[in-house]
Amino acid sequence: MMLDFFLYIFSGVLVGIGAAFVPGLFYSEISLLFFGFITDIPAAIFIASSAISFSLFEFISTNIFGIGDDITSLSLGMQQENLEKIAKTVSFGAIISMFLSIPLVFVFQILFVQISPIMKDSLLVILVAIIIYTVVSEKTFFRKISATLIFVATGIFGTLIQNSGFLPSNLLLMPVFIGLYGFSSIIARKHSEKTMVNPLSLAEKIKISLISFGTSLLSIFIPSMKRSQTSAIAFGLGKFEQTESVVLSLSILSTSFLFISIIALSSNSIRSTLAYDISDIVSGLNYNQILMILGSLVIAAVVSIFLLLNSVKFLNKTVSRINKKYLKMFGFACGIVLISYFTSWKGILLAFVATCIGILSIKLRVKSVHLMGVLLVPTLVRLLASI
């Protein structure tokens, strides 16, 4: 039994790593491919393990090919760092996330009952305040106007497609994010190799960790809050601009979101694709089963971090020998194929519109966080409608 437990973990880790190097593939598509092969708790362990390894290695893949998912795509357009530095930053963020997330297992029920009603009532005010703060924090008047324009444009786009039934909700974001961040970056942005001039101090790392993890907790209390939305809020609060701070924040958000999703299952709350997949396979999870899945998530994270840190030097040497233009072209081609396969012409159309908006934001030199209007504005609309 114990041997099978580790077998499912390691096989999940390997599948997650392999999937991470398919440019444009989202985690939600991985789960679709493997449903039916295994069932019950083994399937939950396999899926959780693949999710954590995918979330870590996806940062490396995104930097290489220029195409990422809804979290790692936010790091596109930043100064491109050495892959080894990215791997160390991502690993540090994942470790911090685990240490901060695990204690929630013991206090989750108390937090959920007492804080959830307060958060739901104040969410509208919080989102409006952060959006205004993010726009106003732009340095020049032209940047403020440009940021507002892009936020409104993406917001209208997101509102129109969210409840249109144009695509299934679990596939809707794939072409949108690939277009907004991936295709637009490949087409319009000039990429260059740069190194970090001023690495983050310990105090800065602590600040980023607390802001990012604290923001990720919103996903506990607000069922509709996606991890990309929490990242937009974290960026607005922390004003993260340096590459290392962006990658560290995203790593913490991505990893903690997975742990929080599993912890939330103790109250039958669905907070992510991972939680939905697991609850769909194993209904009525008891406390011991949730602890087992969390344990597998921790083991998978440790194994993934070890593999990441020990393989990135080889990856760095291999990638440095290939013309970056060809890597981006490969990423672009994979994105087109995946969008066509999962969403047909409808996804291609959404990706085209999103790419145009993304290119406009690059030309106006608008921060990528303002593109999150595609998610934040529909959320605001729903909140206003519920008043």
* Structure letter (DSSP) for residue 179: I
**Partner residues linked to 80 by β-bridges:** 193
Whether the per-residue pLDDT at 79 is higher than 50: the answer is no
Of the candidate ranges 105-109, 273-277, 354-358, the one whose mean pLDDT is the lowest: 273-277
Whether 384 contacts 127, CB under 8 Å = no
Contacts of 49 (CB under 8 A, 6+ apart): 8, 9, 10, 11, 12, 13, 16, 296, 297, 299, 300
| Residue 145 confidence (pLDDT) | 92
Q: What is the pLDDT of residues 222-275, one digit of tens each?
A: 655 666 667 767 776 766 666 778 888 888 888 888 888 787 776 655 455 566
Whether 48 contacts 259, CB under 8 Å = no
User: What is the mean pLDDT of the segment spanning 208-232?
Assistant: 73
User: What is the mean pLDDT of the segment spanning 103-130?
Assistant: 71
Could you tell me the two tokens for 214? 């604290």
Number of neighbours of residue 5 by Cβ within 10 angstroms = 16
Provide the residue type at 23 as one letter.
P
Number of neighbours of residue 295 by Cβ within 10 angstroms = 14
Whether 301 contacts 96, CB under 8 Å = no
User: Residue written as tokens 């050495």?
Assistant: 82
φ and ψ at residue 35, rounded to 5 degrees: -65, 135
Q: In the chain, what percentage of residues exceed pLDDT 70?
A: 76
| Residue 336 confidence (pLDDT) | 92
Whether 368 contacts 361, CB under 8 Å = yes
Distance CA 361, CA 347 (A): 21
Structural domain containing residue 342: 2-385
* Structure letter (DSSP) for residue 22: S
Q: Which residues of 126-150 are buried (b: 16+ CB within 10 A; e: fewer)?
A: ebeebbeebbeebeeeebeebbbeb
Whether 49 contacts 14, CB under 8 Å = no
Distance CA 3, CA 16 (A): 20
Highest mean pLDDT among 68-72, 103-107, 177-181, 244-248: 177-181
Distances (CA, A) of 116 to 214, 253, 275, 290, 314: 14, 20, 19, 21, 46
Provide the residue type at 148 as one letter.
T
Structural domain tally of the chain? 1
User: What is the mean pLDDT of the segment spanning 205-221?
Assistant: 80
Distances (CA, A) of 310 to 97, 174, 286: 21, 30, 36
Sign of the torsion angle spanned by Cα atoms 358, 360, 363, 365: negative
**Under DSSP, is residue 35 helix (H, G, I), strand (E, B) or coil?**
strand
* Structure letter (DSSP) for residue 38: B
Q: In the chain, what percentage of residues exceed pLDDT 90?
A: 16
